Amino acid sequence: MKRLFPLLLLAIIFFIGCRSSNDQAIAEVHNVKLYRSEIESLLPAGLSFEDSVKMANHLIDNWVKKQLIIHEANNYLSTREKTFEKELDNYRKDLLINAFFQKLTNDSTQFTYSDDELLNFVRQYEDDFAAEREILKLNYVKLSPRSKVLKPLRDILFDEQRRMFEKERIEEICADSIEYFIQDQTWIFWDDVKNDLPLEMDLDEELTDENRYIERKLGNYLYLVVLLDKSTTPYNISNSENVEAAKTMILQQKKTEFINQYIELLYKNAEENNLIIR
């Protein structure tokens, strides 16, 4: 293993005007190189010189350690133990399906509803709404455990000060994730949150005023959850936040119905064209 540049020289290269058209390697471990552009892309905008150098050094140290572990694992594990074709194929298919459904329903204007439909929706569920329900504000992200943005995302989300002042950076980072919710001012129902996250996550036990941060790997995904605030409230149609919650629920319901209808149509067309063999 070798470092290509001392840390002080690295700081000079990053921040005192080295703008070579050639992307420079700044570290190397067992013939694997880390390039300056890879670190620059992870540095949040607006950091001071000292903080930028500190974060860059931290990212490089983590990269070096990761490469050492990967090299060790490659030497230690057998070929069979290093074969993940099935897991990677399933993960890729999940990514593909999620991206496809997201694109199909990305234009929310295609899912319209009237004021009467909203009112009927509220009346239909008024018994549920009338009961006092727990609400909360939170941030959560679902992403691959192997995502290159996991470390910087975790560092910001799990640090109250950084989370407050680097909101735009969080949104940029989250673009690489599978799913995320970082609306700090939006109250959502506790039950709805639990429906979106895996059943194996016992949020009632794990997420409390004393323990506001959860990081849990389940299946092919890693979940980062931050509790911002928690309360209880009865549903009141005059409450604008509750009206917005009802609108969100209708929209999600329509998207789900649309996807289900799309899948049924695909199935019907495939049967009619003899594309399914049993």
Write the pLDDT tens digit of every residue in 180-237: 888 787 777 777 776 666 544 555 565 666 677 888 887 788 888 888 887 766 545 4
pTM attached to this predicted model: 0.42
Q: How far apart are CA 3 and CA 10, in angstroms?
A: 10
**pLDDT reported for residue 227:** 84
Q: How many CB atoms lie within 10 A of CB 236?
A: 12
pLDDT digits (tens, 9 = 90+) for 153-185: 888 888 888 887 787 788 777 776 667 888 787
**pLDDT reported for residue 195:** 65
Q: How many CB atoms lie within 10 A of CB 16?
A: 8
Tell me the pLDDT band of 2, cut-offs 50, 70 and 90. low
Is the pLDDT score of 68 beyond 90?
yes
Burial 84-112 (b: 16+ CB within 10 A, else e): eeeeeeebeeeeeeeeebeeebeeeeeee
pLDDT digits (tens, 9 = 90+) for 95-145: 888 889 889 888 888 888 888 888 777 776 665 555 566 777 888 888 888
**pLDDT reported for residue 265:** 92
- Residue bearing the bigger pLDDT, 16 or 277: 277
Radius of gyration, CA atoms only, the chain: 24
Calculate the average pLDDT of the chain. Answer: 78
- Residue bearing the bigger pLDDT, 278 or 109: 109
**pLDDT reported for residue 126:** 60
